[in-house]
Structure 1
Amino acid sequence: MRRTVYAVAAVAVAILVAVQVTSDRHRSDPAVAGAEVPTVAVGADVLAGIAVIPERIHDHDYRRAAFGDAWTDDTSAPGGHDGCDTRDDVLNRDLVDKTFTSTARCPTAVATGTLHDPYTNAVIHFTRGNQTGASVQIDHIVPLALAWDLGARAWPADERTRFANDPANLLAVQGRANQDKGDKEPANWMPPNHAFWCQYAVQFAAVLRGYALPVDERSATKLRAAAATCPTG
């Protein structure tokens, strides 16, 4: 069955209308963390093509294991099939001023680096390690538990694994902000850094659209308001 997928590159694209391509693989294109603010045409709806439902219904049988191993080494990830898992690849994509080390699983793992955190606007110095590494975490823009409630429970297992490792749905962010967000929908959590609301709304909508997920009414209102802060073009 062919599915409609929307090309993302969402934090860098000018949105006039949703850009559609067709593919047998249900995947968004990689996001670029820290890219320029997208422009949105006057009158354009950031949620075009996305179903709006009355509210999110929490499904209490959610389990992280339903989305596969925490991270995979996928050929579609920023580094390709390089022996490094998705987390390593996203750190490499999103951090600057990096140094590298070789680990048993990744020959080019980020050892140190700097994150300009989009969620808080903080500058965070990253050092690899169980404790210090927790200062930078990888966030699912559309949380896994939220996706589960919105329909991912009905997906085949490999689809959920792809979703959990899709770089278009991943950002390196401040660990505390990631924990504060948890599995909250936009109605209940938006980045403390209001300057990032435009990018967040555009990217959140692009992931929903790419995976044919709906959005609840309160979150739709929040995302449209956030997208209204985008420059027009």
Structure 2
Amino acid sequence: MLQIRSDYATRAVVRPGDEAFVPSPLAGVERLMLDREGGEVARATTIVRYAPGSRFSAHTHGGGEEFLVLEGTFADEHGTYPAGTYVRNPPGSSHAPSSAEGCVLFVKLMQFDPEDRERKVIDTRSAEWFPGLVDGLTVLPLHQFGSESVALVRWAPGTVFQPHTHFGGEEILVLEGTFEDEHGAYPAGTWLRSPSMSRHHPFTRSGCTILVKVGHLPA
């Protein structure tokens, strides 16, 4: 059983170039493993890359699947999902995914609350953004269930957020620009996970867009 950054009480950062893609069991599909607990069926956070014309065999997500299409177009028998599409497939859902043109996904598996049964598909390119808690922030809410919250957040250049503590932790994928805090700078493509009750003082000098999930990690 693989154990990759599976201590959720420890801060984890993976920057571009820190890890390499590895082949999946199916030709044309590669994975960059960010965290993982288990074998082929696992609780996992992964960047998945589909070569043009590749497909994955039909399978069921017993613990649910959440993904954001980063590049290209992903598809299954339920629809076609271009870059910028956010999807939640609840526990027990199944599909046979493929990509005619190729695509890159940010995927989280087996991380649903068992009571969270809503399937969700959001085209973030056309969804409505809202003002954030401080000047310079705009927010696109994606999901809320119990203590868990998922959103896209845009930071204008020079934006500074107040220092704060994360009850239930925080996980970020930097999509554009450079996100920063007192611990370092995180360029586009960086994934970081901060444990429950961690604290930081985030800001950006250049501006950035991040995918952020909070309240989902064990105390």
TM-score (norm. length: structure 1): 0.29
> If each structure's helix is expressed as a fraction of its own residues, which one has the higher value?
1
TM-score (norm. length: structure 2): 0.30
Query: Relative contact order (alpha carbons < 8 A, sep ≥ 6): 1 or 2 greater?
Result: 1
> If each structure's strand is expressed as a fraction of its own residues, which one has the higher value?
2
